[in-house]
Amino acid sequence: LYKMTSNGSFSGTLHNYAGKLVAFEYAATEKGETGQNVLIFIGGLGDGLLTVPYSTRLARQLPPTWSLVQVHLSSSYRSWGISSLGKDVEEISQCIDYLRNTAGKSGKIVLMGHSTGCQDVMHYLVGPGQENRAHIDGGIMQASISDRQAMEIHLTEKQRSNANKVAAEWVAAGREEDVLSAATTLGFFDAPISARRWLSLASPNHDGEDDYFSSDLSDEQYQKSFGSLPKGSKLCILYSGSDEFVPEHVDKKALVDKWIGIVKRGSGEVDEKNSGVVEGATHDLKNNPKESDSVRRTSTSTFKDNIQSHQDGDSTKIFCRRQARPAHIYGQSSDAASVN
């Protein structure tokens, strides 16, 4: 389930940015040089270093002044179920601090979220403590779906209700960090998951920490996220038009248009030109016949119009897509090591 789907070796630098945490920076050129501007790539549930095969293609298509840095978090691989968005963004902050102050990156920094990485991007920008986090120059969210609504496709209402009931009882009893049994979760996530994290993703009260993107949230809730973006961190929203984990009742275009409208009414910035529904794109673009068209869509926004005045002839465009989720759903320290 968590095996790599691509083969090969990759040149770059492995940074030990904090404790046992590392980040892999792809070499930007054949000579092994790296750019001063950084795109920090955040994978989804079950992802880790090099598990999202398109990241290599993305790294190779960035302008030469940019580097792609894939961050490894303590929630990577199978540990996300006992972690949290708060812990993720704390570690992302550590990575940014390292890149700025130890690795010497003096240019722009953009966060790109894939799958649950989209929740990390939003939480970094608007979650508790955001005023104390380092400024970033932009955020990209692709296939920013709702975990709670995705469950509607695979679990019956009775199954969801039972799992939510057990999780809520455990939290009330002070057992929020205890791991739910597979009998309770029905193996929906192929990883250990605590009662707290289950409700963060699936709370029937629509108040879970992870629940940023459900279509049934109130405008007031969206105002606290999309409507509260900090100035100078432009957001690009790329929603897969054929995402297999979005229920049919969700109007994708209307949802994205609502998010864009709320950003515009707030203090933040949104890239209206490039944000929107990417027609024909599946959740992770697997077997997507129009992948090449999708792959050209993003950096017009992120690396040219929004973030950097970079001219390179054909205005390289790159699409950021999310890795498939696990199971039957979305199925240096101060030193750095060179990796070839």
All structural domains of the chain: 12-146+213-339 (3.40.50.1820), 147-210 (no CATH)
pLDDT at 48: 87
% of residues, the chain, pLDDT over 90? 62
Q: Are 326 and 283 in contact (CB under 8 A)?
A: no
Query: For the ranges 38-42, 54-58, 149-153, 267-271, which has the lowest average pLDDT?
Result: 54-58
**pLDDT greater than 90 at residue 130:** yes
What type of residue sits at position 105? K
CA angle 94, 97, 100 (to 5 degrees): 150
| CA–CA distance, 236 with 118 (Å, rounded to integer) | 11
Write phi, then psi, for 245 (nearest 5 degrees): -110, 15
Query: For the ranges 17-21, 136-140, 238-242, 318-322, which has the lowest average pLDDT?
Result: 318-322
What is the SS3 assignment for 80? helix
Chain centre distance of CA 297: 17
What are the residues whose beta carbons fall under 8 Å from the beta carbon of 245, sequence distance 6 or more? 145, 150, 153, 283, 325, 329, 330
pLDDT at 55: 79
Going by C-alpha positions, the residue among 111, 176, 184 that lies closest to residue 142 is 111
Position 60 confidence tier, pLDDT thresholds 50, 70, 90: confident
Rounded mean pLDDT of 184-196? Answer: 91
Position 316 confidence tier, pLDDT thresholds 50, 70, 90: very low
CA distances from 315 to 51, 268, 301, 309 (A): 28, 25, 10, 10
pTM for the whole structure? 0.85
Write phi, then psi, for 69 (nearest 5 degrees): -115, 115
Which helix (H) or strand (E) element contains residue 66? strand 66-71
Query: For the ranges 4-13, 58-67, 95-104, 150-159, which has the lowest average pLDDT?
Result: 4-13
What are the pLDDT digits (tens) for 222-281? 999 999 999 999 999 989 899 888 999 999 999 999 999 999 999 899 999 999 998 888
pLDDT at 44: 87
Q: Which residue matches tokens 């390292």? A: 98
Alpha helices in the chain (DSSP H): 54-61, 85-101, 117-126, 147-154, 157-172, 182-185, 195-202, 219-223, 252-265, 291-295, 299
| CA–CA distance, 195 with 35 (Å, rounded to integer) | 42
